[in-house]
Amino acid sequence: MAVPTTPIPGDVSGKPPELPWVQTLGGSALDPRIQPQCSLAVQLRRVTGSVVGRSTELSAIEHELHGARTNLSAVTLEGEPGIGKTRLLLATAELATRTGFTTVAVTADEEIRGPFLLGQSIFAAPSLREAIAGSPAETSVQRVIEAMSGRDEPGLEGLSRDAKLLRTFDLAGVALGQATQEKPLALLIDDVQWADDDTLRMLRYAVRADAAQPIFLFLAIRPDEFATVTEAVNFVADLERMGLVHRLRPGRFSQVESGELAKQALGGPIEPSSIVAIHTQSEGVPFIIEELVRTYREAGMIQQVDGVWTLGRNAAKLVPSAVRTLIQRRAARLPDDARSALADAAVLGRSFSLRDLSAVRSRLDQAEPAPGSLADALRPAVTAGLLLEQPEGSSADYTFTHEQVRDLAMAELSQTRRRGVHGAIVDLLLEGGDPTPAALPMIASHALAAGDTERAARLSIDAARAALQANAAEEALRLVEQALPTVTSSQDRRDLLCLRDDAYAVSRNTTDRLEGLAELSALAEAMRDASLELDVQLRRAAALRLSHDEEAAAEVARRVRDRAAASGDQATELRADLELGQALLRSSLGESFGAPAKESDLDRAEQTYRAAAALAEKLGNDWALAASLREIGIILLSGLRLWFGEQVHAGRVFEIVGRVAAGETVDAVLDSTEAGPRAREIRQVLERALSIYERIGDRTGVMSTVIAMAYVNYAPMIHISSSARHLEEIRRVTNRMSNLVTESERARQELQLLYGVHLYARAKVVPDLMVARGIEAHRMAKVQGDRSVEFLAAGGVALALMDLGEVAQADEWLSRAAAAVAASPTSLRARLLETWRGLLAAAQGDPARMREHLERAVKMATDNGRPAARCEALATLALSAATLGVATNDAELLELAERSATEAIQLNGTLPGHPPWGAQSKAALAILAVAQGDNEEAAALGGQIVQYVQDADREDLDLEMLIPAARGIFAAGPPEAQAMARGFLRLLLSRIVAGTVDDEMRVQWLRGPVGKQLTELAGPMDEPMAAAPVDAGAEPGMPPALDELDRQLLHLLTQGSTNREMANEMKLDEAAVSQRLARLLATIGASSRAQATSFAFRGIGT
């Protein structure tokens, strides 16, 4: 964060600001050729603005300044070059001046030194001379300056040099003490390690003489050089012995702090991925951050896009001239043997050992240098701050202080020498036999740099294969791309291009994959390799399928299958059948748990997979056989879902629900229908697939098949009850399979299922699980580093909390989602975050912020060229604007809602499939029609929404469009339509209440903004339907007789009332309510308040 300090001003001319504590020429008694050498004015040209971060350091400095009002106090600021010491020093100077100190800020210089050079700058400082003007201290200061300049006082010419020096020290101590009689004195010195010895001795003397005076010392130090300056070390040691010093060691910036500094330097917000790039290249060193930003801007490599600074792709390896000059100046002072050893070491890596460096140099120079001699040679590089010496016992002996130091050191090598070092490294790494997979990329890189194309190609291929086996697609792509320009063998080129395609497939990068396949196709044609041509075609089919062009993918796979069958190539025919099946089913192998019947060709997919199973069995390909059988089981399961949808359309689902509610098992109900044989066949097919996967040890196949079997067991109950508890059971089943998967695989699967339960609970409205599982998924995603699920789960929890009316908590969860976006930004996440913030603003009743965020989401979707995303954003804007516009009677919002809804409906008609955004937009128009009294239009729109839900086989509850649809139908719909709508709403309420286990959460949802609307629309309660009448003589299925108090009690249950609230409403004692409620539950056969509430909703109107 940026710590508030007074900004240090400047102007566009580059002139330093006029600050009294900065050493300048005016009024100085110093020789004008000497005095400006110690001035801080030059630093002010680049150190401007407030301090970023450093809150701990500033707090400590402020504390020591406070203490310095009574006696001497000191702070040392110790850090590597560029860490921001000067910026902190200048901020400290401002703080000292504001708090009443006479502030003197000076700096030592690396190149220019002389007797008392720094001391003369201190006592000639304009701020000091102004503070003591007319006081006794003015004469004392003038005497010190004359003594430092070598001008002897009359009568003292004969003193020895040592005596004169001691007298100068004494005069300085007196002068400083007298100066503090006017105001406390703050003395700030930058780069103390370069100060002249005379000044350092003077300061040591003054500290002892004036320890009781109100003096604040601030010393900025570079530790690597400080350790070699005896007088400086003694000075700080004196302060420590006297207990006067607080030593601060600021570290490098975090990514957030790097972004803040870059933002300050550019004067505007920066795109998150650009912040990551700047932080990565600078490694959090503030000076390099500022120089990078300046250089990027001057070179046009960073541009403002929509007010946000965005870094170009070609900027990653740019080295600012100031950084380069700083490193080169330090390296130039090194002895030749140090520079030579440093250059060879740079090829080894950022960190290196003396043993490896010795071995490499012995291969090149035919003489093995002793590690001790190399350590001696490198010691000046450590002193110069170019190398860090590692503790004894570490794997490396030295580390370059920054990657740019290493790059510039390597640039010292001739091309021949550099290739030789790389080649020697390859020989050393291959001496011990076959390298480990982890070492392959490094060895391949060295072989490429050595120009050893034969070994480079082989190593790159092996390394890319190992990376793919570890699911590291990006690393595999990097290895392939660096090797491709150097290979000469057609076979090596084929292997590399196939590996590149495999990497694109793993990362689902279909655009680059299709472009890359064109190159592989040209190679197949040039090689006249028919098998490679068919392989390329199947790869193209997979790429088309993953880019959602399933029809084109199916056509390509079908042609390959026919060619392979005609030539008798059964292995390729099998591959083609598997690819064709995935295109027809619109799902990859092992990933589907129920194909969408409206969009998939289930019949042809089943035929294709059965053909694949037959071929696999013939060829003895167990994996292909198991994969085909699993997909056949999923297709049969999809057919079972389709059958259930038909029961819903025909109205027979209420009979099934009633039988289950009356106590029959789901299996018994299904067995009595035509779906029974299908369910048994599904289990048989999946059990066979599972046995094969277990035999061949395919853990992923076992996991996906077990989950599919769990869905078969629980899917009917899930659809009948809308309870997510059965999904919880599926999750528990997979957790018990730890012996079949690794811990990391199990953790990933657990995360997917947790998030799946959360999604399902939101879709089916199960309030307790949609919050609890979302929170768990977010926590686990953070642990696993899955930014996608972390973001989506945080947003999902926020939306669930909005439904419960908890807008403050929802705001907190959106902050968590925003943190995930900042860590791993994408355009989709940015748009979703804007949408969620707009929905939150609508829930808070803030139309201005709602409109700002949702209109921004529309613009982002438009800018990204995504019609579906624009349609979705417009529909969300329309619904929110309509709802809030009606609530606030805002004509502008109502007009915006109508305009957005109309455009979304038009755009929705151009999209494939059955997207819900047209219906959502009609829901917005229905809200407007009801508010405007156009009941006929409202009823018509409500009927269209209901028709869409039926035609699209929507299994989600979609309350955001069903509630406005119901209001429209109730406004002017025919009586039978109103009765059907009310009955449907009551059934929904019954299922929601029955599926919510947590009593408090159920009550909160019923009282929340959504549940309250749904309860009101369901209408007044009538007699409830009994689940299992207690009266043995009662006719089955007939409701028991309830009196008026029981009916009122049930009505209050549906509103989520507590016993105390019921007692107040019914004018009864709370204990009497508890007793009567217990009798009522027994009468209607309910085991809990949730079940009683569910029965009440189902029985309304009977």
Lowest mean pLDDT among 323-332, 543-552, 949-958: 949-958
| For the ranges 34-43, 100-109, 223-232, 395-404, the one whose mean pLDDT is highest | 100-109
The more confident residue out of 579 and 788 is 579
Helix (H) or strand (E) holding 52: strand 51-52
Burial class (CB in 10 A: 0-12, 13-18, 19+), 11: exposed
Q: 1011-1034, pLDDT tens digit by residue?
A: 888 878 876 544 443 333 334 344
Lowest mean pLDDT among 108-117, 549-558, 830-839: 108-117
Tell how far CA 174 is from the center of its chain.
60
| Same fold across 745-825 and 990-1099 | no
CA 137 – CA 143 distance, rounded (Å): 10
CA 1035 – CA 293 distance, rounded (Å): 83
pLDDT at 457 > cutoff 60: yes
What is the second-level CATH architecture of the domain 990-1099?
Orthogonal Bundle (1.10)
Q: Locate tokens 């209408």: which residue?
A: 1019
pLDDT for the residue 1078? 65
Q: 634-673, pLDDT tens digit by residue?
A: 888 887 777 776 666 666 656 666 666 556 666 677 777 7
Residue 759's pLDDT band (boundaries 50, 70, 90)? confident
Residue 736's pLDDT band (boundaries 50, 70, 90)? very low
Q: Among candidates 1033, 1028, 1070, which has minimal Cα distance to 1049?
A: 1070
| For the ranges 399-403, 808-812, 972-976, the one whose mean pLDDT is highest | 808-812
Helix (H) or strand (E) holding 562: helix 550-567
pLDDT at 1089 > cutoff 70: no
Lowest mean pLDDT among 636-645, 781-790, 911-920: 636-645
pTM of the predicted model as reported, rounded to 2 decimal places? 0.51
**At 389, is the secondary structure helix, strand, or coil?**
strand
| For the ranges 388-402, 822-836, 884-898, the one whose mean pLDDT is highest | 884-898
pLDDT for the residue 663? 61
pLDDT for the residue 313? 60
Contact (Cβ atoms closer than 8 angstroms) between residue 183 and residue 151: no
Mean of all residue pLDDT scores within the chain: 79
Contact (Cβ atoms closer than 8 angstroms) between residue 921 and residue 882: no
pLDDT at 56 > cutoff 90: no
Residue 656: CB atoms within 10 A of its CB come to 21
Contact (Cβ atoms closer than 8 angstroms) between residue 941 and residue 971: no
Sign of CA dihedral 1006, 1007, 1010, 1013: positive
What is the second-level CATH architecture of the domain 745-825?
Alpha Horseshoe (1.25)
pLDDT at 531 > cutoff 80: yes
pLDDT at 35 > cutoff 80: no
Q: 498-514, pLDDT tens digit by residue?
A: 989 888 887 777 778 88
Contact (Cβ atoms closer than 8 angstroms) between residue 962 and residue 926: no
Q: Letter for the amino acid at 466?
A: A
- Token digits of residue 836: 């969620």
CA 766 – CA 406 distance, rounded (Å): 57
**At 102, is the secondary structure helix, strand, or coil?**
strand
- Which distant-in-sequence residues (6+ apart) come within 8 Å of 529 by Cβ? none
The more confident residue out of 839 and 5 is 839
CA 772 – CA 817 distance, rounded (Å): 16
CA 1057 – CA 458 distance, rounded (Å): 73
pLDDT at 612 > cutoff 90: yes
Residue 14's pLDDT band (boundaries 50, 70, 90)? very low
The more confident residue out of 745 and 294 is 294
CA 921 – CA 408 distance, rounded (Å): 60
Lowest mean pLDDT among 780-794, 799-813, 926-940: 780-794
Average pLDDT over residues 411-435: 87
Sign of CA dihedral 822, 824, 830, 832: negative
Lowest mean pLDDT among 458-472, 626-640, 1038-1052: 1038-1052
Question: Whole-angstrom distance between the N-terminal and C-terminal Cα of the chain?
Answer: 64
Spans of all domains in the chain: 30-248, 255-315, 321-413, 415-488, 508-579, 586-721, 745-825, 827-944, 990-1099
What is the second-level CATH architecture of the domain 30-248?
3-Layer(aba) Sandwich (3.40)
Q: Beta partners for 302?
A: 311
Q: Among candidates 935, 937, 941, 939, which has minimal Cα distance to 921?
A: 941
**At 352, is the secondary structure helix, strand, or coil?**
strand
Lowest mean pLDDT among 4-13, 205-214, 456-465, 874-883: 4-13
Q: How far is CA 1098 from CA 169, 421, 663, 1010, 1101, in A?
A: 97, 81, 16, 19, 8
Q: Locate tokens 């001739």: which residue?
A: 414
Lowest mean pLDDT among 58-72, 553-567, 702-716, 913-927: 702-716
Looking at the chain, the whole-number percentage of residues with pLDDT higher than 70 is: 81
Contact (Cβ atoms closer than 8 angstroms) between residue 720 and residue 660: yes
Lowest mean pLDDT among 40-54, 152-166, 973-987: 40-54
pLDDT for the residue 787? 81
Residue 626's pLDDT band (boundaries 50, 70, 90)? very high
Q: 973-1008, pLDDT tens digit by residue?
A: 888 888 888 877 877 777 777 667 777 777 777 778
Average pLDDT over residues 454-468: 87
Choose which CATH entry (1.10.150, 3.90.1580, 1.25.40, 1.10.8) describes domain 827-944. Answer: 1.25.40
DSSP letters spanning 1025-1062: PPSS-S-TTSPTTPPPP--HHHHHHHHHHHTT--HHHH
pLDDT for the residue 894? 92
Average pLDDT over residues 513-520: 86
CA 645 – CA 111 distance, rounded (Å): 85
- Token digits of residue 778: 């977010």
Residue 44's pLDDT band (boundaries 50, 70, 90)? very low
- Which distant-in-sequence residues (6+ apart) come within 8 Å of 880 by Cβ? 838, 839, 842, 850, 854
pLDDT for the residue 615? 94
Dihedral, CA atoms, 174, 177, 182, 183, nearest 10 degrees?
150
CATH topology for 321-413? Arc Repressor Mutant, subunit A (1.10.10)
**At 437, is the secondary structure helix, strand, or coil?**
coil
Residue 558's pLDDT band (boundaries 50, 70, 90)? very high
Burial class (CB in 10 A: 0-12, 13-18, 19+), 436: exposed
**At 105, is the secondary structure helix, strand, or coil?**
strand
pLDDT for the residue 954? 64
